[in-house]
A = this chain, B = another copy of it.
């Protein structure tokens, strides 16, 4: 049985990345997230630090982008394109789990992908940011909501789609049901044959 490529989007603090890693371990397939940045950096010749820094600023000003577009593509777009190349390369190699980076959109023309989204009640996400991720913040709620916003903007900017819209995903799960439950449901889906109904 051949496993699919799994893309996983997630609300900040939902434990989506943890679930993604558990799924990859359970299915014994490669897991990609931050590593993508390094690979993209190698691809473009940009230093890892520079790419990481740019990652944090996806909303460069319109004028800056306009200026850059007369010179070259904005650096953030270069990073996205380089990362998209990496995503297509790793997906072409075989089954894997890819977290974030608009991978569902990047791989939209590749048959057999399964696109997932993980969310959770806000209180649980705030609590996870505080205790598990140990985020340094004074207002955890504001921090969590700001991170969601950043992801929504990134997704929208590069895909033209709405982040977390149900129709964009094969499966969405409330991780409040438990990280293990979410992991098992995803593994269960991954191990099913394609539908012929």
B179 adjacent to A169 (CB under 8 Å): no
Known contacts A188-B184, A188-B185, A197-B180; A171 and B170 CB within 8 A of each other: no
Taken together, the copies of this chain in the complex come to 2
Cβ contact within 8 Å between B196 and A177: no
Interface of A is mostly: mixed
Contact stretch, chosen from A57-65, A71-79, A159-167: A159-167
Sort chain A's interface into a size bin: 20 to 34
* Chain A residues engaging chain B, CB cutoff 8 angstroms: 114, 117, 119, 164-167, 169-174, 176-181, 184-185, 188-189, 192, 194-197
Can you list 24 contacts pairing A with B, beta carbon distance less than 8 Å?
A: A164-B167, A166-B166, A166-B169, A169-B174, A170-B173, A170-B174, A171-B171, A171-B174, A171-B177, A176-B195, A177-B189, A177-B195, A178-B192, A178-B196, A178-B197, A179-B195, A179-B197, A180-B195, A180-B197, A181-B192, A184-B188, A185-B188, A185-B189, A188-B188
